[in-house]
Chain A
Amino acid sequence: DVKVTQSSRYLVKRTGEKVFLECVQDMDHENMFWYRQDPGLGLRLIYFSYDVKMKEKGDIPEGYSVSREKKERFSLILESASTNQTSMYLCASSSGTGLGHQPQHFGDGTRLSIL
């Protein structure tokens, strides 16, 4: 079974802090994704990566950056946390390259609160 592990289940940070959310997958997947999930807004794609050191902006990249130095690890960075970034953050991974569909496998999420 694919395992996507997010480093923290709950996290509390202060405004202005630099925040790192870590995600590791154990299935040698090429693609990794970061979403945030908010009530009434569903899942929104922040950034994704289809290869090591590659990254693509999703639908709401503002205020975030990512890092993918190793294939199994994809980090989401909040450069200067703000209260409107309080949310549930979900990481996912999928296999395959190029076009075409492969199911995304999600981690359990990190509930981040910015005070």
Chain B
Amino acid sequence: GQSLEQPSEVTAVEGAIVQINCTYQTSGFYGLSWYQQHDGGAPTFLSYNALDGLEETGRFSSFLSRSDSYGYLLLQELQMKDSASYFCAPLRANNLFFGTGTRLTVIP
């Protein structure tokens, strides 16, 4: 079967660091993507991990452990504009499997 687990909601303070965890179970796993979606907007690509380890892109980092079927998205120096939903999405053979996402609220 296929399953994804992410926290449904996270609240963090502006300027702080927040980590959004993702555990997954899919057939034919190739890597883990992360997407951001603001309310009323389209999902936009943030990062992709094909190999174990940490990938850094500016204030955002993403981590993958294939042996644990686990990944996380790390957001540093949080800004109010980071308030959005964040989706982890394992890559199957030629398509992504999205879950229900994590709603991040950044407070002053």
Give residues in A with beta carbon < 8 Å to B.
4, 31, 33, 35, 40-45, 48, 50, 56, 58-59, 90, 92, 98-101, 103-109
Contact yes or no, B94 A50, CB < 8 A: yes
CB distance from B99 to the nearest CB of A (A): 5
List of B residues within 8 angstroms of A58 by Cβ: 95
Bound Cα distance from A30 to B96, whole angstroms: 15
CB-based contact A45/B45 at 8 Å: no
User: With the chains together, A43 CA to B4 CA distance in Å?
Assistant: 12
| Interface residue? B24 (CB, 8 A) | no
Contact A108–B33 (Cβ < 8 Å): no
* Whole-angstrom CA separation of A90 from B35 in the bound complex: 14
Given contacts A56-B94, A103-B45, 16 further A-B contacts (CB under 8 A): A35-B98, A42-B101, A43-B43, A43-B87, A44-B98, A48-B95, A50-B94, A100-B30, A101-B30, A101-B33, A103-B48, A104-B35, A104-B96, A106-B42, A106-B44, A107-B42
* CA of A70 to CA of B101, assembled, Å: 33
